[in-house]
């Protein structure tokens, strides 16, 4: 029952709306005021639906109090139908989708009515503009032509052919002006769009350059920091190496000097014992001079204070050789002396190598320190230049970004009004085209 009631209500509403439109068209043909409004009659009660206010501003249906009252009444009727249906048929529920469909249908009908009334309002405005400076008779003819339905046969009075020609010129001129206005609006919109697009591209380019400069600065800064760390490393290495060299080399030189002083004495002792041992094997007497010389050499041995191991060995040899006069005993110490000589030569070689290594490491670290010091200077300068370049790119980016925002806002502000104006001009052009077709048809019928 609710759906049936809604269908009947929709039919009544559509019939009354059509009656209102036809009634208003009759009033316009008779030259009555109130063009652009329609009356919806139901008995003696009249509801006027306005689409424009006193200043000519266009309103949508439902924005004024009367429209809101109609919509509110329609909603109440729908609710009442639902309540009645629910009370009479308790076990039969109307799906909400059905009610929603009815409501959408009613809204579509109201929207259609609004569009019809808006089209008639635009026609009225165009007739007023085109016939602003024309005679009252010509203006009346223009209103009559505009009011005639497109689907009906055109009522033509060939006695008024001159008026048709005048109207044709007037509406053609108006159409030209509207086209020119539309072209101007479109050109301005395109101009602002192009300016905003160009500003955006420049800003994006500047943004890319800034990011690249920022990356270069970061790399240059990191390179300078790395060079500084390497310089600090080798500066520390040189300081430590120099301190070690200054502390150790005098000790090594002293040890080397002591060992070197003992080496020739040991070699002379070895040679003299070998000579005395050879003479004894040949049954030749050993001279007292040779024994004296040997004793003198033995006493001249001085154990090195810088090398305890070799000092101990030399002390042992001194003690043994000083306490014996037997050539055989002395000869038995030759192998010990050879070992001491070998140890001294090996140690002297080690000392020379250690000193050479320290000097080489120290010189190498000094060279690398100087090299990294130069790199620190160069890379720091490069980092400063990269920072200046980045800052300059940042200023350019900021300026172009501000310009882009301004021009983008200008375009968006203009484009919003442009769309409304373009839509209005399109409706006006359509209305003029319809009227011009009627005028041309009238002229064509009159020959």
Report the DSSP beta bridge partners of residue 178.
Answer: none
* Angle, CA of 166, 168 and 170, to the nearest 5°: 70
List pLDDT tens digits, range 58-100: 444 445 555 566 566 666 667 666 655 555 444 444 566 676 7
d(CA 266, CA 338): 9
Going by C-alpha positions, the residue among 289, 297, 377 that lies closest to residue 333 is: 297
**CATH dotted code for 199-414:** 1.20.1330
Q: CA–CA distance from 399 to each of 82, 230, 302, 392, 394 (Å)?
A: 64, 40, 88, 11, 9
Q: CA–CA distance from 58 to each of 63, 119, 122, 319, 420 (Å)?
A: 10, 11, 10, 134, 12
Between the two ends of the chain, the Cα-to-Cα distance in Å is 60
- Predicted pLDDT of residue 65: 58
pTM, entire model: 0.52
Write out 291-310 in H/E/C secondary structure: HHHHHHHHHHCCCCCCCHHH
Going by C-alpha positions, the residue among 349, 267, 327 that lies closest to residue 301 is: 267
Every domain of the chain and the residues it spans:
199-414
- Predicted pLDDT of residue 159: 82
Count CA within 13 A, CB hemisphere, residue 168: 14
1 CB burial (10 A radius; 0-12, 13-18, 19+): middle
d(CA 193, CA 197): 6
List pLDDT tens digits, range 348-377: 999 999 999 999 999 999 999 999 999 999
Tokens of 53: 């206010």
Strand, helix or coil at 178? helix
- Predicted pLDDT of residue 12: 39
Percentage of the chain modeled with pLDDT above 90:
30
d(CA 161, CA 166): 9
Write out 205-236 in H/E/C secondary structure: HHHHHHHHHHHHHHHHHHHHHHHHHHHHHHHH
Are 142 and 130 contacting, i.e. CB atoms less than 8 angstroms apart?
yes
Tokens of 226: 């790395």
Reading the chain (447 residues) residue by residue, the pLDDT tens digits are 433 434 433 443 444 434 444 444 444 444 433 333 333 333 443 333 333 444 444 444 445 555 566 566 666 667 666 655 555 444 444 566 676 777 777 777 776 665 556 566 777 777 777 777 778 888 888 787 777 776 667 777 888 888 888 888 888 888 888 888 889 999 999 999 999 999 999 999 999 999 999 999 999 999 999 999 999 999 999 999 999 999 999 999 998 888 888 888 888 888 887 777 665 544 444 455 666 677 777 777 777 877 788 888 878 877 777 766 666 666 777 778 888 888 888 989 999 999 999 999 999 999 999 999 999 999 999 999 999 999 999 999 999 999 999 999 999 999 988 888 888 888 888 888 888 888 888 888 886
d(CA 5, CA 77): 9
d(CA 283, CA 98): 149
d(CA 433, CA 427): 10
Residues 6+ apart with CB under 8 A from 2: 81, 82, 84, 85, 86, 94, 98, 99
Provide the sign of the torsion angle of the four alpha carbons 388, 391, 395, 396, taken in this order.
Answer: positive
Going by C-alpha positions, the residue among 254, 250, 263 that lies closest to residue 305 is: 254
52 CB burial (10 A radius; 0-12, 13-18, 19+): middle
Provide the sign of the torsion angle of the four alpha carbons 317, 319, 320, 321, taken in this order.
Answer: positive
């Amino acid at each position: 029952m609710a759906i049936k009631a809604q269908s009947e209500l929709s039919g009544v509403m559509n019939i009354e709306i059509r009656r209102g439109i036809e009634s208003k068209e009759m009033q316009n043909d008779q030259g009555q005021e109130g063009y652009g409004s329609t009356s919806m009659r139901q008995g003696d009660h009249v509801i006027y639906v306005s689409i424009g206010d006193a200043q000519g501003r266009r309103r949508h249906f439902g924005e004024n109090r009367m429209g809101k009252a109609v919509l509110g009444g329609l909603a109440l009727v729908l609710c009442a139908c639902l309540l009645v249906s629910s009370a009479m048929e308790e076990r039969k529920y109307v799906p909400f989708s059905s009610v929603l469909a009815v409501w959408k249908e009613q809204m579509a009908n109201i929207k259609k009515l609004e569009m019809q009334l808006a089209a008639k309002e635009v026609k009225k405005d165009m007739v007023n503009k085109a016939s602003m400076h024309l005679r009252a008779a010509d203006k009346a003819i223009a209103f009559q032509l505009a009011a005639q339905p497109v689907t009906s046969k055109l009522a033509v009075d060939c006695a008024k052919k001159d008026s048709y020609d005048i109207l044709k010129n007037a509406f053609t001129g108006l159409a030209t002006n509207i086209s020119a206005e539309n072209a101007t609006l479109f050109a301005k919109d395109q101009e602002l769009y192009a300016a905003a697009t160009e500003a955006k591209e420049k800003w994006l380019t500047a943004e890319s350059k800034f990011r690249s400069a920022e990356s270069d600065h970061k790399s240059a800064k990191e390179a300078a920091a790395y060079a500084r760390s390497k310089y600090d490393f080798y500066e520390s290495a040189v300081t430590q190496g120099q301190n070690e060299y200054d502390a150790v080399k005098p000790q090594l030189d002293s040890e080397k000097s002591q060992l070197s002083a003992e080496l020739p004495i040991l070699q002379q002792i070895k040679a003299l014992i070998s000579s005395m041992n050879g003479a004894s094997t040949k049954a030749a007497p050993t001279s007292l001079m040779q024994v004296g010389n040997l004793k003198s050499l033995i006493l001249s041995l001085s154990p090195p204070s810088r090398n305890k191991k070799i000092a101990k060995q030399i002390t042992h040899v001194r003690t043994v050789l000083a306490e014996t006069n037997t050539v055989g005993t002395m000869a038995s110490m030759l192998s010990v002396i050879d070992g001491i000589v070998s140890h001294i030569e090996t140690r002297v070689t080690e000392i020379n190598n250690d000193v050479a290594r320290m000097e080489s490491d120290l010189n190498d670290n000094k060279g690398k320190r100087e090299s990294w010091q130069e790199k620190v200077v160069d890379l720091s300068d490069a980092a400063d230049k990269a920072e200046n370049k980045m800052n300059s790119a940042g200023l350019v980016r900021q300026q172009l970004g501000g310009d882009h925002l301004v021009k983008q806002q200008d375009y968006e502000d203009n484009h919003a009004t442009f769309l409304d104006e373009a839509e209005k001009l399109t409706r006006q052009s359509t209305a003029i085209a319809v009227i011009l077709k009627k005028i041309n048809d009238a002229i064509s019928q009159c020959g």
